[in-house]
Amino acid sequence: MKFRVIAFIFFLSAVCAFSQTEGSEEWYQGKPIKDIVFSGLNNISSSELEGIVNQYKGRTFDDLIFWELQGKLYALEYFERIDPSTHKADASGSEVIIRFTVVERPVIGRINFVGNSGLRRNELLDTISSKQSDVFNQAKIRADAEAIKNKYIEKGYPNASVSSADVPGDRPNTVTLVFYITEGTKISISKIEFQGNTKFSNRALKGELSLKQKTLINDGAFQEAKLIADIEAIEMYYRNRGYIEAEVKDVTRTFETDEKGTNLVLTFLIEEGEIFTFGGVKFEGNLIFSTAQLDKLITSKVGDVVNEGKLEADLQRVSDLYFENGYIFNSFLRDQDIDYQTNTLSYSISIVERSRAHIENIIVRGNTKTKTSVILREIPLEPGDVFSKTKVLDAMRNLYNLQFFSMIMPDTPQGSTESLMDLIFTVEEQPTTDVQFGLTFSGSADPDSIPISGMLKWNDRNLAGYGNQLGAELNSSIVDTTTFTVDYVQRWVFGLPVSAGIDFSMNYVKRLTTMDNVAPFFYGPDDPYSYPDGFQSYSEYISNDRLPPREYLMDFRQWYLSLGLSTGYRWTTFLGNIGVNGGMRFGLVKNIYDNELYRPFDPALRERNNLWTPKNSFWFSASLDQRDVFYDPTKGYYLYDRIAFYGIFKTEREHYIRNDLKAQFFYTLFNIPIRERWAFKSILALNTGLSVIAKQPGRDKESKIPTLEDASKLSIDGMFVARGWSGEYYTKGLVLWDNWAELRFPIVPGILALDLFFDAAGVESQQGYYFGKNASGNKNFTIDNMRFSFGGGFRFTLPQFPFRISLAKRFRYVDRKFQWEPGMLFGDDEKPSKGVDLVISFVLTY
């Protein structure tokens, strides 16, 4: 109504403005709109208005379009006044330019609080949505005053009141926003008591309450809303243990006032009643599903003590069976039968069955950037389909995994007839374009590389609203590592869930490798007891963790240019989302070193030195994914297998097959609501992975070991595998077994989590023997191969910033005897049980 009045006030001025610009006649009617410009913008950036005006450029001018545009501008509440005018784009007047001359509303120059003593200024600033330099918005201010009042109530000030005022600021067109606060008396709970409870202790009942007594770590703030919820919680506690008629008859309040405020003693008066057992459920009116089918959904057993929560879940499963099959308009009339002679509780469920509900329309609301078709293709339902609750939940999971939306809300209103319904998805978009820059870890776990690098990354996960991804990234430590990558992914091809991707990358690295310049010389990888310069024997080589002194290491440089193509297909099953992917990578690699001075110990590096050599590969993968949110799951499982063939042509330096198998499991151990928007939650995450490198059929017949560079072999990196064991990078092999278990505690949901972890990973002893016996007849993979660590740290769960920082304590087994490893921080070689290792890494995958 307010907007209509404002629009009417300026209607005449708008008409006059149009009639007086570029001629007396309405020459602009029916002409294409070439541009929309603004005059009078001081505090508002024109880029903030582009999202509205750009959609009108190129459209044909008429009064309806103009009033729609002007209405949207007024709805922003940025402007006190908007004066429109029209102008010819050129002499012919074939196109029109609309100019809006605006008078901006003032901006907030400062925010003050008067009367606050119980809450600090910064705490109040965090509570309100208005910020300094925001456009003054009266509706927003009223909401902020209410938010401050609710904050005081939350902190134990039930009688707080808040008002606001604005006064002219020190600078032109600014105001100072002032909130006047009357706090009232703070009420803190000094004691919580119970009367009438004989079956359960005071301690057990207190554990069910959200209100807490005042302690050193809890202010004991009293809230009326929490008291109402706590009464229900106590009654439900009894009902879940058979006392179905238990009731909190009253809660008495005793007040004591001192200089710090008012102390409150709460006493819950409880009438427990008798304990009841379950007498069963009878169904009536069910024709679609047999009574035997419905009985199987009732897990509560006749004769058991009544658990009202469990019984409610049983009856909900009956409703869900109908809902899942499209019968959403059925009525379920529940009749409770209590037999006081036998103290049994029974139910009679009368079901009024109606025809299946078919979807009449699927409607999407709230999307401004994302095309509606992009959202609809993630919903496994179409108009005319029978309604399915499971498919609606699948749709929500698919949409959340796009990472385009911060909120998704489904609704199912009645359609045009009784058997039809509309399915409405209301979404709230979030930014999908990321720009990152600064100093970070390069992602390389190679200790030879300088880990700190400069990073510049741009990525749009929802390019032009069509759901595709375009990104570019530059990482460089200047000295020894530079990587540039540009990639594009089309998520749907030909209207099918088939992805297609292309990427181009350029990599430069400066590395160190072992030499074999001094006799004895080793010519191939088959000798299991070969060793490089700097050692006198193979045993000395092993005892020094395969790392010679720096003077026995040689430099070499490597350039690698590659083009990658990939595709994949995914579909939904009752087991989870199945994905099948494949791709090829074509590249050229060049290793550079002076072969007159150096002879690498690695035989693969001795071939085609200083020459561009093809380096090609192709791969296939399959996955089964039932995680709720793939980048930070709270439940579900994930199975993945990838097999890759490296080296297609004979002239290539490396020829091998690599298979990576991984299994993960996630489970929410508990989820305890603490505040309205925060719960104390813990997620158990388990992972096991096995990577194996083998020979390609028909190649390397004379060798047990495939031809590949040491850099391509498997190893523990200490960042992502066996956290803390960075020194194990030089232990290369053809088998890597990686295991970890984590307890994850979300601190800021969707942003930050505290993780406790236990890692166990190992590489084979001698290459080519895998899990069998080596040339000496000993088992090639035992507990001595494993490297263990445990610890904790913080993990950013934002997909745009997958950063971890952890402290790890390491140990291993030597000759099957337990041995601590000293840490880099606070470590002591004489007391290896002391000290931990700092691990900083980017989580490359989830």
Domains of the chain, each with CATH number or no CATH: 2-104 (3.10.20.310), 107-182 (3.10.20.310), 187-271 (3.10.20.310), 277-352 (3.10.20.310), 358-429 (3.10.20.310), 492-842 (2.40.160)
Pairwise CA distance, residues 533 & 514, whole Å:
7
263's tokens: 């102390």
Decide: 791 and 807 in contact? Cβ < 8 Å.
yes
Which pLDDT score is estimated for 603? Answer: 81
Which pLDDT score is estimated for 295? Answer: 94
Decide: 197 and 272 in contact? Cβ < 8 Å.
yes
Which pLDDT score is estimated for 9? Answer: 43
Ramachandran assignment for 439, one of left (phi > 0), alpha (psi -120 to 50 degrees), beta (any other): beta
Which pLDDT score is estimated for 549? Answer: 87
Pairwise CA distance, residues 754 & 792, whole Å:
7
Which residues are registered as beta bridge partners of 589?
560, 613
Q: What is the mean pLDDT of residues 317-321?
A: 91
> How would you classify the pairing of strands 107-114 and 174-182?
parallel
755-767 pLDDT, tens per residue?
999 999 999 988 8
Proportion of the chain above pLDDT 70, given as a percent:
93
Q: Specify the higher pLDDT residue, 700 or 741.
A: 741
Which pLDDT score is estimated for 26? Answer: 79
Q: Is the dihedral of CA 163, 169, 170, 171 positive or negative?
A: positive
Q: Specify the higher pLDDT residue, 793 or 218.
A: 793
3-state secondary structure of 10: coil
Does 548 score more than 90 pLDDT?
Answer: no
Which pLDDT score is estimated for 676? Answer: 57
3-state secondary structure of 288: coil
Q: What is the mean pLDDT of residues 487-497?
A: 91
Which pLDDT score is estimated for 442? Answer: 40
Pairwise CA distance, residues 21 & 93, whole Å:
12
Proportion of the chain above pLDDT 90, given as a percent:
50
Which pLDDT score is estimated for 149? Answer: 92
Which pLDDT score is estimated for 845? Answer: 39
Which pLDDT score is estimated for 801? Answer: 65
Cβ-count burial 298-329 (b if 16+ within 10 Å, e if not):
bebeeeeebbbeebeebbeebbebbbbbbbbb
Which pTM does this prediction carry? 0.60
Pairwise CA distance, residues 364 & 383, whole Å:
13
Which pLDDT score is estimated for 285? Answer: 93
Q: Specify the higher pLDDT residue, 817 or 538.
A: 817
Which pLDDT score is estimated for 522? Answer: 80
Please give the mean pLDDT across all residues of the chain: 87
Cβ-count burial 146-182 (b if 16+ within 10 Å, e if not):
ebbbbbbbbbbbeebebebeeeebeeeebbebebebe
237-284 pLDDT, tens per residue?
999 999 999 999 999 999 887 776 788 999 999 999 999 999 999 999
What are phi and psi for residue 146, nearest 5 degrees? -65, -35
Confidence of residue 423 (pLDDT cuts 50, 70, 90): very high
Highest mean pLDDT among 192-206, 318-332, 688-702, 703-717: 192-206
Whose structure tokens read 């719960």? 679
Amino acid in position 529: Y
436-481 pLDDT, tens per residue?
766 544 444 454 555 566 778 898 999 999 999 999 999 887 777 8
Q: Where are the beta strands (DSSP E) in 515-630?
A: 553-573, 576-592, 613-614, 617-625
Ramachandran assignment for 308, one of left (phi > 0), alpha (psi -120 to 50 degrees), beta (any other): alpha
Which pLDDT score is estimated for 430? Answer: 87
Q: H-helix or E-strand containing 120?
A: none
Q: What is the mean pLDDT of residues 704-732?
A: 87
Comparing CA positions, the residue from 269, 281, 203, 266 lying closest to residue 235 is 269
Confidence of residue 236 (pLDDT cuts 50, 70, 90): very high
CA 713 to chain centre: 32
Highest mean pLDDT among 37-46, 276-285, 394-403: 276-285
Decide: 104 and 80 in contact? Cβ < 8 Å.
yes
Pairwise CA distance, residues 681 & 753, whole Å:
10
Q: What is the mean pLDDT of residues 421-447?
A: 72
Which pLDDT score is estimated for 294? Answer: 94
66-76 pLDDT, tens per residue?
898 988 888 87
Which pLDDT score is estimated for 6? Answer: 45
For Cα atoms 581, 619, 711, give the angle at the middle one, nearest 5 degrees.
Answer: 135
- For the chain, state the CA radius of gyration: 35
Does 694 score more than 90 pLDDT?
Answer: yes
Pairwise CA distance, residues 672 & 680, whole Å:
5
Decide: 99 and 87 in contact? Cβ < 8 Å.
yes
3-state secondary structure of 672: strand
Which pLDDT score is estimated for 445? Answer: 43
Q: What is the mean pLDDT of residues 553-559?
A: 90
- Which of these ranges, 269-283, 299-313, 825-839, has the smallest mean pLDDT? 825-839
158-170 pLDDT, tens per residue?
889 999 999 988 8
Q: What is the mean pLDDT of residues 659-681?
A: 86
Q: What is the mean pLDDT of residues 93-114?
A: 91
Does 843 score more than 60 pLDDT?
Answer: no
Comparing CA positions, the residue from 718, 686, 716 lying closest to residue 806 is 718
Which pLDDT score is estimated for 10? Answer: 46
Confidence of residue 8 (pLDDT cuts 50, 70, 90): very low
Which pLDDT score is estimated for 844? Answer: 44
Decide: 425 and 409 in contact? Cβ < 8 Å.
yes
